[in-house]
Structure 1
Amino acid sequence: MAVRGRDLIKAMEAWAPKSLAVENDRIGLQVGDPEAEVRGVLLALDVTEEVVDEAVRIGANWVIAHHAVIFRPLKELRTDQSAGRLYAKLLRNGINVYAAHTNLDAAEGGVNDVLSEKLALEKTEVLIPTRYQRLKKVVIMSPVDHHESILQAAGKAGAGWIGNYSHCTFNIKGTGTFRPEEGTNPFIGRQGDLERVEEIRLETVVPEEHLNSVVQAMIDAHPYEEPAYDIYPLELSGEVQGMGRIGNLTQSMTLKELAERVKEVYHVPCLRMVGDGNSRVSRVAVLGGSGGRYAPEAQRLGADVYITGDLDHHTALDALADGLHLLDPGHHVEHLVLEQVVEKLKENVGLKEIPIQITTVDTNPFRFV
């Protein structure tokens, strides 16, 4: 069965749902048709003409990008200008483009988690909360013999997480009643007879973004034609979600030593540093992309040093006066998340046979001389 664009999009948004994006961010399918067959996927930080040429060369008709290919409103579509040439090349070659930006920044295992893990930060927390995970309670009734398989299916689909504990459920035995009417094919009982069956009421908590997949997994594992289940809204808030991370180094080091580590693990030839290189640092905040405006929040949460890109002169002066160290490895370090995107997409059974590659084009516009 052919894999369609909607299947690829569903896989991405199961991991990095649109609800995680900041307001008015340019995300989602930007060019193409969600029903287009997926023959190959190319991952890139930015979509340039060179990236499109590579997609054509390797036979990839889908590009998943971190930065939007259509960011500013279009006033014209002229093919004698760079933007128009790019869009024309995409359409002419049937290349579909999907963008995951701040939703991928905030996602668990997304940009900022990758940047934190590269530095081996411990006890990380969200730097800039943007939302709290909304929770639902799902209740399903099942015959005793199928209870365990339904419980396992729910847990595998993402239900029952409380902190670092998975498969958290509550179960009560009781008696279910039903009468199969004309046109039914009951798993238990006969048409016209009122049945009483010993069942187990399974209750579990589900993050809203996993609700549909959990319910479907439970139904698929259930033997009944018409499983009985309920969904309740909860006043409880789930995990905090948002931009950036803050955590602790495994051991303190000088700012200069941390700068050298950042260069090594982020694969950058050099970076900009604000502060005394001999100062010792242990608590680190990191935010991929342009995060200068969040420097005060990093300091408020106790960061000794804040790592982000595109820092401006006045932000640096203010941080220096306030005693906050800064490291700027550039905006382009976000490309480090692309390896994680490959892994996440390959976890999807339907995408296992689809060629998924990371672009070999260096889209970083800056060169060091």
Structure 2
Amino acid sequence: MSTIKDIYSFLDGLYPRTLSCEWDNDGLMVCRNSEREVKKVLLALDVTRKVADEAISGGYDLIISHHPLIFRPLKQLSEEYAGALIPMKLFSAGVSVISLHTRFDAGEGGINDTLAALLGLDVISPFGPDGEKCGRLCTTSETTAHGLCNKIKETLGAPCVLCGNPEKEIRTVALLGGDGKSFISEALKVGADAFVTGASGYNAALEAADRELAVIDAGHYHTEFLPLVQRMTSLISSAFADVSVAVSGAGCEISCF
């Protein structure tokens, strides 16, 4: 029998809190009984109302998300306070939530290592500001910024946005799934030809392009969802044979037209 405690201890061993960014709030978000048996796990990038409803109606014992369900301190536990509604609903139903966020970004084999592997990139080293080495510096076979965009679109189903010269030759790629605005200066420091991220910011990307760094914005959701699903499914299925893992059908609330 596998319990909430077993699964969290396993994940915490692979991706300990020491890997988390100082400002982050990740870990065990909701848990009414850590000794509860886990038979069904639901994976989601975000724990939205629809994901919570899906977990409850589907009889799931545990949700594993990337983004923390509780990021800022809760001001009150009340139906009148929107931030508390989903945690209260899940707690009442006995559904636990684990969110690993930046420790899963930074850790070996986590979001960014998996994203690099999906894109056919070879990781050289972590990169990022001190205390936030979540990104990855990679090499790639000879290509152009346009060619790299096409690879990302094909692999992730992402609507790429390129800021820079599409014909620029690319051999080194700095990569960070999710919001990478604060990592653009670090990508410049390590001498990358391109920076692939999920959210770059207009002004920061424009400035980077002026300094010969091609910035490829592939979407926050697209750069994290597939790596999360692929890696976490493998981890849980391999370590807990008695636990079934499913991907939330609630999907992304943001669509591209």
Distance 1:359 1:67 in 2: 14
Distance 2:123 2:72 in 1: 38
Distance 1:91 1:246 in 2: 40
Q: Which residue of 1 aligns with 2:210?
A: 321
Q: Which residue of 1 aligns with 2:17?
A: 18
Query: Could you tell me whether the CA contact under 8 Å between 2:139 and 2:173 is conserved in 1?
Result: yes
What secondary structure sits across from 2:105 in the alignment? helix
Gaps of 5+ in 2: none
Q: Which residue of 1 aligns with 2:232?
A: 341
What secondary structure sits across from 1:242 in the alignment? coil
**Greater percentage in strand:** 1
* 1:368 to 2:256 alignment: yes
TM superposition shift of 1:87: 2.3
Distance 1:88 1:106 in 2: 30
Q: Which residue of 2 aligns with 1:64?
A: 64
Q: Given residue 20 of structure 1, which amino acid in structure 2 is its aligned partner? A: L
**Alignment deviations for residues 128-159 of structure 1 (CA, whole Å, 9 cap, x no partner):** 2756xxxxxxxxxxxxxxxxxxxxxxxxxxxx
Query: Could you tell me whether the CA contact under 8 Å between 1:130 and 1:243 is conserved in 2?
Result: no
* 1:109 to 2:144 alignment: no
Q: Given residue 236 of structure 2, which amino acid in structure 1 is its aligned partner? A: L
TM-score (norm 2): 0.92
Q: Which residue of 1 aligns with 2:92?
A: 92
TM superposition shift of 1:24: 3.4
Gaps of 5+ in 1: 132-240
* Alignment coverage as a number of residue pairs: 254
Q: Which residue of 2 aligns with 1:53?
A: 53
Q: Residues 123 and 286 from structure 1, CA distance in 2 versus in 1: closer, same or farther, beyond 3 angstroms?
A: closer
**Alignment deviations for residues 232-287 of structure 1 (CA, whole Å, 9 cap, x no partner):** xxxxxxxxx9311111112x22211111111111221x121100112221211100
Q: Given residue 156 of structure 2, which amino acid in structure 1 is its aligned partner? A: Y
Larger radius of gyration: 1
Select the residue among 173, 189, 208 that pairs with 1:300: 189
Q: Which residue of 2 aligns with 1:260?
A: 150
TM superposition shift of 1:68: 0.6
**Greater percentage in helix:** 2
**Alignment deviations for residues 43-99 of structure 1 (CA, whole Å, 9 cap, x no partner):** 111001111122123321111111111111112333245433322321221111111
* 1:244 to 2:135 alignment: yes
TM superposition shift of 1:327: 0.3
Query: Could you tell me whether the CA contact under 8 Å between 1:22 and 1:130 is conserved in 2?
Result: no
Q: Given residue 10 of structure 2, which amino acid in structure 1 is its aligned partner? A: A
